[in-house]
Amino acid sequence: MRKLGRNDPCWCGSGRKYKACHMAIDEKIQQYALQGHIVPDHDILKTKEQIEGIKESSKINIAVLDYVAEKIRVGMSTEEIDRLVQEKTAQMGGIPAPLGYDGFPKSVCTSINGQVCHGIPSEADILKDGDIVNVDVSTIYHGFFSDSSRMFMLGDVDLKTKKLVETAHQCIDIGLEWVKPWNFLGDMAQAINDFAKANGYSIVREIGGHGVGLEFHEEPFVSYVTEKGSEMLMVPGMVFTIEPMVNMGRADIYIDHENGWTVYTEDGLASAQWEVTVAVTEDGYEVLTW
Ligand code: MF3
Ligand code: CO
């Protein structure tokens, strides 16, 4: 951590003196670091202005998902969902973050049933009665990134699958209860994992959430299978996603050998995921994108 004088301007750019701004927080972080905990660097703590920027980006992300929610129906191809995302994002002055990210070929991820995530929209994938699909939208606006996803249930979804989708949604609320300064990401992870397990489900281990805001994927990696008291300390200004992938059956996954992207459950059973972006505030959290 850079050594600042008490009367120097704070590193966060607030214009306030260090002692009246982040000094106390930095000292507290230092204490946790000395105890051997993982703590965030300054560069992943967002300023108020940056959080405002992420919120502007989030408005587009939310509007795009609302637009998809209005239009999605049985018989539609996932390619059409891609077009809806392009259309709405462009209309609002944003850029879809997935397009060209690490070579991803489309503007949104659409993952159906046993697809866990990173499904690639295609003219060939037609939504059928009884399908569940995750639509994962990410937006860049004036350089700020937002990221959230929702599940959609098409037509008559069987009760068992509905319950999976509902439990995955509840996992977000359970996780949020743990988001506040001086808790650990592992506290949130264990709460989510325990809840999923208690319902008979499993949580994907290899893929998780991430810091977000100034880039699409920032530190830290956010696991939902780690233990209470482990992982990074939560500190005001951290912005990350909560996006556990909840599997009906086993947690094991594999990646499509041909396209190198789409992740499937090994056992072929359904997987559900909701994603929000959350900021750690002085006394709790604020959901930025949902
Ligand atoms: N939106 C996904 C996430 O939640 C990431 C997708 S990467 C992409 O982190 F390239 F597939 F878009
Ligand atoms: Co994400």
Q: How far lies 268's CA from each of 114, 169, 248, 265, 275, in Å?
A: 5, 21, 9, 5, 22
pLDDT in tens, 199-217: 999 999 999 999 999 999 9
Q: What is the mean pLDDT of the chain?
A: 97
Backbone angles phi, psi at 203, to 5 degrees: -115, 135
Can the peptide bond before residue 220 be classed as cis, meaning omega within 30 degrees of 0? yes
Q: Tokens for 188, please give them.
A: 């949130």
What pLDDT sits at residue 13?
Answer: 87
DSSP 143-185: TEEEEEEEEEE-SS--HHHHHHHHHHHHHHHHHHTT-STT-BH
Q: Is 90 exceeded by the pLDDT of residue 2?
A: no
Distance between the two ends of the chain, CA-based, in angstroms? 33
What pLDDT sits at residue 195?
Answer: 98
Q: Is 90 exceeded by the pLDDT of residue 192?
A: yes
What pLDDT sits at residue 3?
Answer: 78
Backbone angles phi, psi at 272, to 5 degrees: -130, 145
Which residues hold their Cβ within 5 A of ligand 2, which is an ion? 147, 241
Residues lining ligand 1, CB < 6 A? 98, 101-102, 104, 109, 118, 136, 138, 147, 210, 241, 243, 275
Q: Which of ligand 1's atoms lies nearest the C-alpha of 118?
A: 11
Q: Which of ligand 1's atoms lies nearest the C-alpha of 98?
A: 12
SS3 191: helix
The average pLDDT across 272-283 equals 97
SS3 87: helix
- Ligand 2 centre from 221 Cα, in Å? 10
Contact 220, 210 (CB under 8 A): yes
Q: Is 60 exceeded by the pLDDT of residue 1?
A: no
Q: Which of ligand 1's atoms lies nearest the C-alpha of 261?
A: 11
Question: Using CA atoms, how far apart are residues 203 and 248, in angstroms rounded to an integer?
Answer: 9
Mutation pick for ligand 1 pocket among 117, 139, 221, 242 (CB with most ligand atoms within 8 Å)? 117
What percentage of the chain exceeds 90 in pLDDT?
98
pLDDT in tens, 80-104: 999 999 999 999 999 999 999 999 9
Q: Which of ligand 1's atoms lies nearest the C-alpha of 106?
A: 12
